[in-house]
Structure 1
């Protein structure tokens, strides 16, 4: 009988859970039921309740699970009332749930006549109940957790549904349409007592001045704040990220995992161990012997780390084997984004965009375009899928004419650059940068300011840049 060695492993983030399953599949190993349930629960926690609800709703649509009708949802009190399209809706505080889970329910779904009478009497006196958090609401761990409830509903498929199987549910089901986020509560405009397949009114039909709309806006803003904290918890750049939506009820985007560096696709190894580094003590004063000169190029930066070369010039930065210190003027892209940015919802229908919260001088490094590095064949396959839904995040690493074996796909894995929009008159331009590898097929993609950029200005680049 053979002996199988088991090594201790850690799974710090969602991508590693999926990588762990892929690795096990390649080795023809399967998770035990207990391990699968544990990793499935971790996956739900990683994506958060708003995405978890979306994923599980796909299983409801397929008929693989259903939301039971006999859940014990007890109304604690009625907080507010609004009339929409001739129907009465009430804002409900649910017993055992914090105010974060208050929801608007149509009158037909309520069976608490005594509380309705009490609320009408209270309202007749010209009073309005305040939504005040109790001590239980403010506690770090509320009585019931939304993710726990969603995980409980997965009971029929918990032993067979893997983390990869769960995440694959996020793929669009209709060509030409992207998944639409409807706020943190998946039961918008429908009862908690009926299956989630029931139709719900669209957000565009709501009056922005109505209480109903305002309540949903509060929920979306909470979700965006959670997402902002999540991004900054992962982000390793010196500058932070702000999330802002002053336009609509769009919440955190689905199908997106934040990463800080290239992620190797299947069958690809990205070298990260340079053969040699420079011996300079002061690289700016020793440009003729520094890394760029050894690679047949020019020293790319001024002493204050702004560009001094024209677009199309290859940039070779000092690497981990160089003797120069971390403040060397030839270490720029590798030091990360230093300008605070804001992910914001555009008002002209272009979705999410990125704007700078600081003034940026011409020639400054702004951000690196990162994603999953895939082969040209895989890029061709994904390109057809992206074309079908009218979007793409593919960036060919084609610095050498006629030789493009690799492509960066920032569609699922990416950083802030994933949200930068296209412009024919951009304020950013693309440069190819090599740091810890000299492989001509694997440059870094760095975006530098093409001109001075004012505080609050949207960042853009030409998608056709090569």
Structure 2
């Protein structure tokens, strides 16, 4: 799926034109101008690509179950939406996979306040620290487990120990990278350090 460009070399006739992969080209300004010209051409490939990406963007936003919006952008090449890609909001369990149900929950009325009590809230029951501060930012060092409240807990959806399960809060952009690495994700707004951004989910397979 690598993008190629037909190059007319300065000082050489058209018969010497060659198809070159994007990684061989060092004329970023000319490439941007080319794609800008293609975008203005009515009915051209760039116009069709933009329409396809807008349709995909609308589909993604209809599918999402989180607050954060999703934008789609490709100012690099003519690739449209990736094939064989399905946007999911949570893990998809494959055949032969059984997820272990949660064994216990907490009886806290104020999970953040009671987190410091012996055996208080879900992290304390597992002999771990409460992972979040009042702003929902992670306050434990990398590598330590995070125990959130679950369906067996008394607390509600706004509990300060339910951060990951509330989903994406920030507006994000799926964009085409300019260095040949395909599609990537970046933020469209400022995100404070140690804030939860998104969960990496997909299909859980037994093989």
Deviations 1:309-348, CA, capped at 9 Å, x for gaps: 0011111000111111221111100000101000111222
SS state at 1:343 partner = strand
Question: What TM-score, normalized by structure 1, do the two folds share?
Answer: 0.36
Contact 1:279–1:322 (8 Å) recurs in 2: yes
**2:181 matched to which residue of 1?**
350
Deviations 1:377-432 (A, max 9, x none): x2xxxxxxxxxxxxxxxxxxxxxxxxxxxxxxxxxxxxxxxxxxxxxxxxxxxxxx
Change (3 A) 1:350 1:211: closer
CA distance in 1, matches of 2:58, 2:78: 19
Aligned to 1:304: 135
Gaps of 5+ in 2: 4-18, 22-30
Give the secondary-structure state (helix, strand or coil) at the position aligned to 2:198.
strand
In the alignment, what sits opposite 2:15?
none
Superposed CA offset, 1:251-299 (max 9, x none): 100111111111112200223x423210100011101211001112111
SS in 1 for 2:144: coil
> Root-mean-square deviation (CA), in Å?
2.7
Change in CA separation of 1:306 and 1:295 when aligned onto 2, cut-off 3 Å: same
Secondary structure of residue in 1 paired with 2:113? coil
1:368 corresponds to which residue?
199
Match of 1:285 in 2: 113
| Structure with more helix by fraction | 1
SS in 2 for 1:367: coil
Q: What is the total number of aligned residue pairs between the two structures? A: 178
Q: Is the 8 A contact 1:301 1:330 kept in 2?
A: yes
Greater relative contact order, per chain length (Cα 8 Å cut-off, separation 6+): 2
Question: Could you say what secondary structure the match of 2:197 adopts?
Answer: strand
Residue aligning to 1:126: none
For residue 89 of structure 2, the aligned residue among 245, 256, 260 is 260
Distance 1:371 1:301 in 2: 25
Task: Report what 1:314 is aligned to.
Answer: 145
Match of residue 63 from structure 2: 234
8 Å contact from structure 2 (residues 38, 46) kept in 1: no
Runs of 4 or more, structure 1, over 6 Å off, are 209-213
8 A Cα contact 2:39 2:47, kept in partner = no
Q: Of the two, which has the highest radius of gyration?
A: 1
TM-score (norm 2): 0.78
Corresponding residue to 1:218 among 39, 47, 60: 47
Cα–Cα, structure 1 residues 301 and 212, in superposed 2: closer, same or farther, change >3 Å?
A: closer
Aligned partners of 2:182, 2:96: CA distance in 1, in Å?
33
CA displacement, residues 185-225 of structure 1 (integer Å, 9 cap, x when unaligned): xxxxxxxxxxxxxxxxx897x99376699411000000000
